[in-house]
Amino acid sequence: MTKLRIDEERLWQSHMDLAKIGALSNGGVCRLAATREDGAGRDQLGSIRSATCMRAAAAAAMTCRQ
C-alpha cells in the first residue's frame, strides 16, 4: 500500500490562493452562487484537482514500474 504524503506548504498556498477570490476588506470572503467569484473559485478548485490527479497518476505509474 502506498503511503500518502500531504505537502502542507502547497495545501496552505492553494487555500490562500482560493481566499483571494472574492476577498473582502474585513478578511472574509464572499463567493455567492452563480457569480464571477463563484465561477473563479470553482475553476481554481478544478485546476487544483486536475493537477493533483495528474501527480497521483504519475506516482502510481512509477510505483507500478518498480
Res. 1 pLDDT band, cuts 50 70 90: low
> Can you tell me the distance from the alpha carbon of 23 to that of 16, in angstroms, rounded to the nearest whole number?
10
DSSP state of 25: T
Q: Give pLDDT, residue 63.
A: 63
Cell numbers given for 28: 472574509
Supply the pLDDT for residue 52: 82
> Residue 46: is its pLDDT beyond 90?
yes
Rounded-to-integer distance, Cα 23 and Cα 15, Å: 12
Look at residue 44 in the predicted model and tell me its pLDDT.
Answer: 95
Q: Give pLDDT tens digits for 53-62.
A: 888 788 777 6
Q: Give yes or no for a contact between 31 and 41, defined as CB atoms under 8 angstroms apart.
A: yes
pLDDT of residue 32: 97
